[in-house]
Amino acid sequence: MDILALLPHRDPFLFLDDLLELSESGAVGVKTFRADEAFFSGHFPSFPVVPGVILCEFALQTAAAWMTTREKLEWAPSQGKSLKESLDSSPTSGDLQQPSWEGDKRKKIPVVTRIRDVQFRQVVRPGQRLEAIVRLEDQAANAYWFSAEIRREDTLVARLHFACMLIDANACETWA
C-alpha cells in the first residue's frame, strides 16, 4: 500500500511503514525503527530507545491513514470488498479514487486534538517490528475517537486513547 498517498507526513517524521489491515472499524499499522533514525543519536547514544512520543505518533499516523482512506476513497461496502481490498485493487468501475497529497489544495489534514491514558509497558529498540492496532471508538462529524495498542509480537508495548479531526488544509494557511 502506498503510505505516501495516504499521509501528508514525510521523512524524517514518517513513522508508518505499511498497513497490514484496514476495516470499517480501524487499522493495523506496522513500523520497524531503523538504527539510523535521527532521534537515536540523542535518545540514548549508548542504549538507543524509541521515545514514547514517537510510539504515540506511530499510532496516530496509523489512525490518520485510516481516516484519509475513509474520507478520500469513495468506497461502497455493498460491493463486498474490505477497505484494504479496495485500495489494493485497480479501479474498474469508478468505485475507487486514490487519495493524493501532491498538489491538492482541497485536501483535509488529520490532526490530533487529545491524547489520554497513555501507558508505556516495554522499551523499544532499533530493529524491532511493531504493530499499532487502532480501533475507532466513536465519531461525530469530522471528529474521531480512537483506542490503540502497540505490540511487538504478542507483547504489549504501549496503549493510548486519542482524538483526531480532519481540518481543511486551506484553513491552516490562515493560521500562519
Q: Which helix (H) or strand (E) holds 85?
A: helix 83-88
* pLDDT attached to residue 1: 81
Domains of the chain: total: 1
Give yes or no for a contact between 175 and 71, defined as CB atoms under 8 angstroms apart: no
Question: Tell me, what's the pLDDT at 108?
Answer: 81
The confidence score (pLDDT) of residue 19 equals 97
The CA distance from 12 to 176, in Å, is 22
Domain that holds residue 83: 3-173
pLDDT at 96: 38
Q: What is the pLDDT of residue 98?
A: 46
| Dist CA 133 CA 144 (whole Å) | 16
Contact 52, 158 (CB under 8 A): yes
Sign of CA dihedral 171, 144, 19, 30: positive
Domain harbouring 78, CATH code: 3.10.129.10
Mean pLDDT of successive 10-residue stretches along the chain, which has 176 residues: 90 96 96 96 96 98 94 48 54 41 63 97 98 97 96 97 90 58
